[in-house]
């Protein structure tokens, strides 16, 4: 049968390890780095229209702001080539689609002018 432990017996066994304290230890010269997390979402449509949303944590700072395609290309190229390349391809596809639409509208305009000239 073992005797119940007394405070004197536990003191003889050795001191208990201290629990680690939160925060920086006293006298430390280390600085904590404050991290600011912002989420910028840039989205574009097949028409070449771009918009940006900015979020900080759960709060929206800006939503659906119109952005020029040239600005998106410039920003993406400055961030990283792996970001700029795919965005440049998307903008080039949108540009080609718009050029095709302009050519189609010009052809329709020419037909309308000819039809108008025949009526005079």
Residue 19 has what pLDDT? 73
pLDDT tens per residue, range 39-91 = 999 998 877 889 999 999 899 999 999 999 999 999 998 988 898 899 898 88
In this model, does residue 8 exceed pLDDT 80? no
* Residue 14's pLDDT band (cuts 50, 70, 90): low
Does pTM top 0.75 for this prediction?
Answer: no
Supply the DSSP string of 21-68, one letter for each residue: PSSPPTT--PPPPP---EEEEEEE-TTS-EEEEEEETTEEEEEEEEE-
**24: phi then psi, degrees, rounded to nearest 5:** -80, 145
Report the sign of the C-alpha dihedral through residues 59, 63, 68, 73, in that order.
Answer: positive
**106/81 Cα distance (integer angstroms):** 36
Helical (H) or strand (E) element with 78: helix 69-79
In angstroms and rounded to an integer, the radius of gyration of the C-alpha atoms of the chain is: 34
In this model, does residue 94 exceed pLDDT 90? no
């Amino acid at each position: 049968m073992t005797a119940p432990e007394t405070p004197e017996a536990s003191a003889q066994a050795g001191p208990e390890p201290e629990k680690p304290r939160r925060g920086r230890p006293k006298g430390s010269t280390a600085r904590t780095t404050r991290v600011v997390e912002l989420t910028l979402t840039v989205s574009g449509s097949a028409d070449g229209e771009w918009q940006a949303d900015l979020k900080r944590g759960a709060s929206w700072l800006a939503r659906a702001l119109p952005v020029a395609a040239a600005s998106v290309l410039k920003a993406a190229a400055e961030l990283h080539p792996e970001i700029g390349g795919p965005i440049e391809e998307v903008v080039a596809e949108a540009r080609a689609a718009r050029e095709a639409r302009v050519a189609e509208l010009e052809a329709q305009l020419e037909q309308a002018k000819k039809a108008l000239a025949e009526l005079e």
